[in-house]
A and B are shown apart, each in its own frame.
Chain A
C-alpha cells in the first residue's frame, strides 16, 4: 500500500470520462452512470471535485447544469491550456497541495502530460472510474459532519474570494465586512473524529505534524494533564466548520502546546492569534509557564512565523524539535474584527 496522503480533490476530464461522447463534435453527450455514482459517493465523504477539460466554457457549463452536476465542481478549468496548468490553478484556488489532487482522463496523452509535469498527482484512467471510491487514497476512516459539508463550505469560500477580489479598499476593511464569529471550546466526544481528521489533513498550518489516533484523543478528554481545544469560525457567507485544534499537555507548572493547527481555509483571517491569546491567558491564570513545540516539516514555515510573531522565544532545541516559550507578561489584545465566543468551561473533575 502506498504512503500517499489522502486525495482531497478529484479533477475530471469531461469528454468520454464524465460523459459519453465529445461535446464539441456535436455528440448528444450523456453522463456515465458509474461516473455520477463515483462523483456523489466521494462528495458525501468530503472529497472535492473539479474539472480540467478542453472545451468552450459556456456550453460546457450549460451541459453540466442541464445534468444537475454543475454544483459538484469547484473552480472548473475549461479552456485550452495544458491540463497540468489547470491542475495547478485548482490546487492554488482551493488552497491545497498539488499532491492532494487526483486526475482522471480517458486520453493517454493527457494522463502522461500531467504525470510528467506533476508527478505528485495521482493519475487515473477513465476505465477505473467505478473503482475509485474503493481505492485507499479516497477512503477516510470517518465521515464527519464537517466532511459532508466540505463542498458547501468551499463554495461559500468561493463566494468570499469573489467578494474579496471585488472589494475596493484595505484588507482590514474587508475582514471587518465578513462579520466573523470565532468559537473556542474544550473538545467533547463529538469533536474527536473531526479532530483526528484535522491532524491528518493539515500540513501547512501545523506546528508539529504530530498525528493522534481517535483513541489517544479520547483519552485526553478525561485526562487532568491534557487540554484539547477546538476552534470554529463562521461569517456572513456561512460556516467554515471546525478549523482549529490545540493540544496542551500540563506537567506541573509547565504547559506545553504539543500541537497547534489551523485549516488553510482560514489562513488570512487572523484567528490563529486569538486561539494563542486564549491559551496564553489560561496558562497565565493557572500560574503556569507556556511552552510550544515546533517541528519543521518543510511546509509549515508559517507556523514558525506564527510562534515568533506571537512573542514566543526559542528556549531549547533538541534535534528537529524547537521549544518556544511564550511571553505571558504582555498578551496583545485580540484583533477587533472578530467576535470571540468562549462558552463556559465544562468542569473537568
Chain B
C-alpha cells in the first residue's frame, strides 16, 4: 500500500511540482489533470504493479486521490492470476 502511494506521489510530482498532495486530497480539484494524465497514470500503475485496468475500473472514484489509486491496485492485485 505504501509503495503504491509513493509511486503515485512521485508520478504527481512529475506533473505538478509545487504541490504536495495529501493522501486523501482530490487530484482533480485543480482542474489541471486531463485525460492524458489519467491515461499515463493508468499505464504507470499497470506497469509498476503488473495489473490490468479494465474499462470497468475507469471510474473517477478509483483515481481521484492517492488513497483511491492505492485501494484499486490492492484490490486488483488480490485477484489471483488466471481467474
Contact = CB atoms under 8 A, between A and B. Distances in A.
Interface of A: 169-173, 267-270, 272-273, 301-306, 308-311, 332-337
B35 A302 contact: yes
A309 B34 CA distance: 8
A268 B60 contact: no
Contact of A172 (B16, B28, B42): B16
A86 B25 CA distance: 44
Interface string B1-40: 0000000000001111110000000001111111111110
Interchain residue pairs A-B with the least CB separation, the first 9: A170-B17, A270-B34, A306-B35, A333-B31, A268-B36, A335-B31, A305-B35, A171-B15, A172-B16
Given A172-B17, A304-B55, A337-B32, 7 more contacts: A268-B36, A270-B34, A301-B39, A308-B59, A309-B28, A309-B38, A335-B30
Contacts of B28: 309, 332
Nearest to A276: B35
B63 A172 contact: no
A18 B55 CA distance: 46
A138 to B, nearest CB: 31
A336 B16 CA distance: 13
B14 A272 contact: no
A336 B31 contact: yes
Contacts of A335: 30-32, 34
A301 B38 CA distance: 11
B70 to A, nearest CB: 18
Interface of B: 13-18, 28-39, 42, 55, 58-60, 63
A309 B17 contact: no
Contacts of B59: 308
A170 B58 contact: no
Most A CB within 10 A of own CB, among B28, B30, B31, B55: B31
A308 B13 CA distance: 24
A337 B16 CA distance: 12
B29 to A, nearest CB: 8
B36 A304 contact: no
A302 B36 contact: yes
A169 B31 contact: no
A272 B59 CA distance: 18
A269 B58 CA distance: 21
A172 B60 contact: no
A309 B32 contact: no
A170 B31 contact: no
Contacts of A337: 32
A61 B58 CA distance: 46
